[in-house]
Chain A
Amino acid sequence: MIRVVLPAHLKMLAKVSGEVELEVVGTASPASVIDALEERFPMLLGTIRDPLTRQRRKFVRFYACERDLSLEPIDVELPDDVTRGRSPFFVIGAMAGG
């Protein structure tokens, strides 16, 4: 079981509060977690990855275990603490303000 923390905009869109728990088949990577997320919440299709290129949107980052995984290969295996459900996988929207 993978725990996923979504940014506020996407929680609202998916109509969830708190963390999302997902079962991921095979190797748990950012790509497979997002695949599982989109399968369960089809309204999130295209919001984290560009629908055409399937690449991470430029204002979206992936964090886990106090590391920024955004620039790692999207199919890299997630840390053990994430795959065991001890620590969440974070989808982060770039900070906005003024």
Chain B
Amino acid sequence: MHSVVCIKQVPDPAQIRVHPVTDTIVRKGVPTKINPYDLFALGAALELRDKFGGEITVLTMGPPSAEDSLRKALTFGADRAVLLTDSFFAGVDTLATTYVLATAIRKIGETFCRPDIIITGNESIDRETAEVGPGIAKRLGLLKLTYVAKIVGLDLISRTIEAECRAEGGVQVLRTKLPCLISMLEANNQTRRGVVTDVLPAGRAPIVKWSAQEAVVEDISKCGAPGSPTIVKRVFAPSPGSEKAGLVEAAEQPTKVLMKPILNSQPRLETDLVAQARGF
């Protein structure tokens, strides 16, 4: 059983700022980490390996410094890591990202072993689009399950997978065929850390680095900025609130101080609530 887990190294979103003069995104000095959703993806892959054996390849696209996150993924128990790094990959949107990652997954299949399942986080905490997982599946012609809360079953003989997927107002239990792609929500699987049998081989595990050429990207115009149909024209910081709240410092009877403005500002609220309480 071969799982490919796609991860992303993300900056801490809360620490990103717009430069006050140049209006560009300031990333310098902002700490990075593995996108939290991707840790659940890796956790799911580890559970599958525990049950079925086989191996896990983690894959990321990013600057050379993204090696840090791959190294970390190896200490969590991945068997192999692949870093896609090339100036041709810079300035991508989600569509171009899926082109590069899908190409690399094909190459992983040829170089090492064909993947049975590709697992991604449902979305990244910096861009939050939830588009990359489904896009990779589409590019590879694979079936996919998104918003996966839990893998309920997997059968390597009938080559099927069953999963609980979050839907509006409930959970859909879906079954589909392997190979497929699943994107994981923040799930119940606890990301395990520091298991000795996971950590010890990590130091020896190789990090494979591929440029666009090495990953056999055939059409360079489909990656990076030229392959991205969306164009970011403006980046700006949200404006601060128009005025600061009128603060009531620990007043003697805060409930009185509070209830009057609430009820005054929402004249219909009280009648509505009373009517509701009477059961109308």
Whether both chains belong to one complex is answered with no
A-side residues, CB < 8 A to B, are none
B-side residues, CB < 8 A to A, are none
